Amino acid sequence: MLPIFEKSALLNTDESKSNFHESKKLNKLLDIFENAIRLIEIYKGNHYQFSDNICITLPYVGNEDNLVNALLIVNRLYNEFAREGYFLRGGMDIGWFLDDKSIAIGMPLANSYKLESIKAKHPRILLSDKFVNLTNLYIKRGYINEDLVYIWEYGVMRKSKINFINPFSLILNYDDKESKIGFLRKFKFNIQKQLNNHEKNKKVLKKYNWLRKLYNNFIIFYCKNYKEIEVETLFTVSEINKLKKLKI
- pLDDT category of residue 42 using cuts at 50, 70 and 90: confident
Name the pLDDT band for 20 (thresholds 50, 70, 90): very low
Strand partners, 91: 126
As a whole number of angstroms, the distance between CA 122 and CA 116 comes to: 9
**In the predicted model, is pLDDT for residue 185 greater than 90?**
yes
What are the C-alpha distances in Å from 51 to residues 43, 121, 133, 160? 25, 20, 31, 31
Class of domain 2-171: alpha beta
pTM as predicted: 0.84
* pLDDT greater at residue 242 or residue 11: 242
Residues 164/214, Cβ–Cβ less than 8 Å? no
Mean pLDDT over each residue of the chain, to the nearest integer: 85
Rounded to whole angstroms, the Cα distance separating 199 from 208 reads 10
- R_g of the chain, CA atoms, integer Å: 19
Per-residue pLDDT at 2 exceeds 60: no
Spell out the domain ranges in the chain: 2-171, 174-244
Give 26's pLDDT tier (boundaries 50, 70, 90): low
The values of phi and psi at residue 138, to 5°, are: -65, -35
